[in-house]
Structure 1
Amino acid sequence: MLAVEQLRSWGLPLVAPGQIIAELAANAVTHGRVPGRDFRLALTVTPDTLLIEVSDARGDRIPEIRDSGRGLLLVEALADRWGVREGPVPCKVVWAELSLATASRGAAIRGA
């Protein structure tokens, strides 16, 4: 996955962000698809946080955690925060934040 290679080139954690990206991208393809339009992935890194944003053209379909799907449950479990905001009409953006300080500490603990 190109996004995971980008994370690797930045020296960032791969597992949790990769799973979040995969889930949000799958949701955009499955639930946010409009013929002729794609979804958009944006990764933003600040000193302490990785922000993952996936936008699609279905602003009328706001994702919710449901019993029938586990994708957002996984996102909720892996991300420090996540949510949905309106994008330029007709789009929406589903975002997730991961603390890089926590992720690095967790990797150090697992590696010990």
Structure 2
Amino acid sequence: MRFSSTPRGARLARRLVAARLHAWGHPYTSTANETLTLITAELTANAVRHGHVPGRDFEVRLTGTSRELRVEVSDTRAKRVPPLSLDERPCDAESGRGLMLVAALADEWGTKPRVNAPGKTVWAALALI
């Protein structure tokens, strides 16, 4: 799914992921849906804030098996790759805790170069078992 690199695009991506998970048998109020929707919200917000390139969209890919749900968010800015080692942020910091939340909620997460396009993909996986 492709979205505009705007707060509205990030909000729409989050809502569509929740709806798709619901359609796949993970109800809106289930732990899996709520957790992956929150992870998606953080990753899409980062794509808009840190990965935005004027005139280019970001993409969200959602996949699932009986054992795992995975979300991938791709943007077109390759130079701003999030660190995989996250330092503790001060309590009064205005930003920088989103990826700490992703790391705490996801069973695995990481980054990889974007396939067939400039940029990067940040992904997170949630085990269902």
| TM-score normalized with structure 2 length | 0.74
Q: Return the match for 1:9 from 2, 5, 23.
A: 23
Q: Is the 8 A contact 1:53 1:96 kept in 2?
A: yes
Is residue 2:82 matched to residue 1:54?
A: no
Structure 2 CA distance for aligned equivalents of residues 98 and 7 of structure 1: 12
Displaced runs of 4+ in structure 1, greater than 3 A?
none
Q: Deviations over 1:45-100 (max 9, x none)?
A: 11201111000001111012352511000000000000000113421000000001
TM-aligned CA deviation for residue 3 of structure 1: 1.1
Unaligned runs of 5+ in 1: 102-112
1:108 alignment partner in structure 2 = none
> RMSD between aligned alpha carbons?
1.2
Structure 2 CA distance for aligned equivalents of residues 79 and 51 of structure 1: 9
TM-aligned CA deviation for residue 2 of structure 1: 1.4
Identity of aligned residues (%): 50
Higher helix share: 1
TM-aligned CA deviation for residue 35 of structure 1: 0.3
Structure 2 CA distance for aligned equivalents of residues 37 and 80 of structure 1: 30
Q: Return the match for 1:63 from 82, 99, 123.
A: 82
| TM-score normalized with structure 1 length | 0.85
Is residue 2:28 matched to residue 1:43?
A: no
Q: Is the 8 A contact 1:60 1:90 kept in 2?
A: no
Q: Return the match for 2:51 from 28, 32, 51.
A: 32
Structure 1 CA distance for aligned equivalents of residues 101 and 47 of structure 2: 15
Unaligned runs of 5+ in 2: 1-14, 27-31, 90-94
Structure 2 CA distance for aligned equivalents of residues 80 and 38 of structure 1: 27
Aligned length: 101
Is residue 2:100 matched to residue 1:81?
A: no
Structure 2 CA distance for aligned equivalents of residues 52 and 60 of structure 1: 21
Structure 1 CA distance for aligned equivalents of residues 119 and 69 of structure 2: 22
